Amino acid sequence: MALITGIAGQDGFYLTELLLSKGYLIVGFDNHSERMRKLRLRLSDNPLRSRVLLELGDVRDRDFIARLISSSKPDEIYNLAAQSHVGDSFQQPKVTTDTALAIKDLLEISLKIHPVARIFQASTSEMFGDSPPPQTERSDFNPLSPYAQAKLEAHELLIEFRQKHSCYACAGILFNHESPHRREEFVSRKITLGIARIVSDNSGQMRLGNLAARRDWGHAKEYVEAMWLMLQQEQPEEFVVATGKSHSVEEFVASGFALVGEDWHDYVVSDQKFFRPSDPPDLCGDAAEAYRKLAWQPKIPFGELVREMLLADLRPNEPAFRRAASMILNSSRTN
Ligand code: NAP
Ligand code: F7E
């Protein structure tokens, strides 16, 4: 039995599919009712869907968490709930911090009523800020946003709690991971959806912020495997989860437009409105420890991730989409 907080987000979906395939029963909750509706819809063709119990709820609600843990007695708890948009955290620091720090209640409640549960916390590469790449488990943290600061507090709190109470709790230091289920507020999906719209209308513009920022983009499907592996170890430990290669936002844009035979310079405008007060320049993780101890290694390269996301956003019925899709399929056959 697993409990997943923030189950209706991108990772919640992939983790649910992974755990179902491993025979788990799942209890999951999220506070976003529209996304919960979409999750139910996505799971509707999974023959194992009756093994998932979904609830609307808030990770900051202590009574709700206590009731859920005491009724489900989960072997594993995956804490994915977060206000996870870095840009938004500058406008909403309190909700971002309160949600991140809900891990404290989760740890305390679990220790009190069901201490055998193993707990995974979704920490983030954003905690490194401008620490020089490649970042490892031993790199300095230097958070540059309210989101990064809140996640770092949660990360340190978890490690301290584990040392004090000898419980099984650990945090994955996750670098950016994307998929066709990524919310469109994040740059990867904003780019692939934007290209799909431009191809469809044969016109339009894409307004982005900082094109020079470099991120280490992997596929969410592979990152949830690392989460599961981390809870199967003898001893709880923190791991960097990353591909080891970073690309600039400009490279993401250029790869996407090249796949539909267009030059990005004709469509993309860099707009101050989408810049953040501060932005880590280059986040690129070294996941050697995860490879050595978890035997975890990402296999989906950057180009394939961009292709998969773009293909998913192209609507199949229009001629322009069909043309672009066949170009993408041809390019994937030749490399
Ligand atoms: P996501 O798509 O934003 O999913 C998080 C889900 O949690 C959303 O549905 C969100 O709904 C929900 N949520 C927010 N506040 C909540 C609350 N108080 N109670 C219950 N649910 C709440 O994020 P993700 O990409 O799946 O990421 C999963 C976790 O990994 C997050 O903790 C994120 O910070 C962390 N992480 C992600 C990445 C990445 O690249 N994807 C990298 C490092 C770490 P709302 O829309 O209402 O907020
Ligand atoms: O930005 C730049 C932006 O919002 C990536 C979350 O999952 O990963 C994610 O956080 C980069 C940044 O993701 C736009 O300034 C340029 O440099 O897609 P993003 P993020 O901020 O890296 C980390 C690891 C998490 O933990 C988070 O939860 O792209 N950028 N132009 C833009 N970003 C957005 N969103 N929109 C733009 O127009």
Domains of the chain, first to last: 2-178+218-241 (3.40.50.720), 187-215+246-282+302-334 (3.90.25.10)
Tokens 């007695």 belong to which residue?
73
Tokens of 292: 């050595």
- Which of 56, 80, 88, when mutated, tests ligand 1's pocket best, judged by the most ligand atoms within 8 Å of its CB? 80
Question: Which comes out higher in pLDDT, residue 6 or 327?
Answer: 6
- What's residue 333's pLDDT? 64
Pocket of ligand 2 (CB under 6 A): 84, 86-87, 124-126, 175-176, 185-188, 190, 208-210, 213, 215, 249, 274, 276, 279
Q: Which ranges in the chain belong to alpha helices (H)?
A: 10-21, 33-43, 62-72, 86-89, 93-100, 102-113, 146-165, 187-201, 220-230, 249-259, 288-289, 302-313, 319-334
The Cα 2–Cα 71 span in angstroms is 12
- What's residue 327's pLDDT? 74
Question: Which comes out higher in pLDDT, residue 2 or 323?
Answer: 2
Measuring from atom 4 of ligand 2, which residue has the nearest CA?
Answer: 186
Tokens of 181: 């289920």
Tokens of 242: 């990353």
Measuring from atom 3 of ligand 2, which residue has the nearest CA?
Answer: 210
Residue-averaged pLDDT of the chain: 95
Tokens of 46: 């999974």
Distance of CA 237 to the CA centre of its chain: 20
Mean pLDDT of 130-153: 98
- What's residue 334's pLDDT? 57
pLDDT at 255 over 90: yes
pLDDT band at 31 (very low <50, low <70, confident <90, very high): very high
pLDDT at 320 over 80: no
- What's residue 224's pLDDT? 98
pLDDT band at 322 (very low <50, low <70, confident <90, very high): confident
- The bound ligand whose nearest atom lies closest to the alpha carbon of 144 is 2
Q: Which residues are catalytic?
A: 124, 126, 147
- What's residue 315's pLDDT? 76
Run of H or E residues at 282: none
Question: Which comes out higher in pLDDT, residue 203 or 299?
Answer: 299
The Cα 182–Cα 13 span in angstroms is 10
- Give me ligand 1 centre to Cα 61, in Å: 16
- What's residue 135's pLDDT? 98
Note the pLDDT tens digit of each residue in 85-134. Answer: 999 999 999 999 999 999 999 999 999 999 999 999 999 999 999 999 99
Q: How many residues does the chain have?
A: 335
Give the list of residues 6+ apart from residue 127 with CB closer than 8 angstroms, or none: 141, 143, 148, 151, 152, 155, 173
- Give me ligand 1 centre to Cα 122, in Å: 9
The Cα 95–Cα 91 span in angstroms is 10
- Which of 177, 215, 216, when mutated, tests ligand 2's pocket best, judged by the most ligand atoms within 8 Å of its CB? 215
- What's residue 325's pLDDT? 75
Q: For residue 220, give the ligand 1 atom closest to its CA.
A: 41
DSSP string, 47-75: TTGGGEEEEE--TT-HHHHHHHHHHH--S
The Cα 266–Cα 253 span in angstroms is 12
- What's residue 316's pLDDT? 73
- Compute φ and ψ for 294, nearest 5 degrees: -105, -10
Looking from the CA of 25 toward its CB, the CA atoms found within 13 Å total 6
Mean pLDDT of 282-304: 98
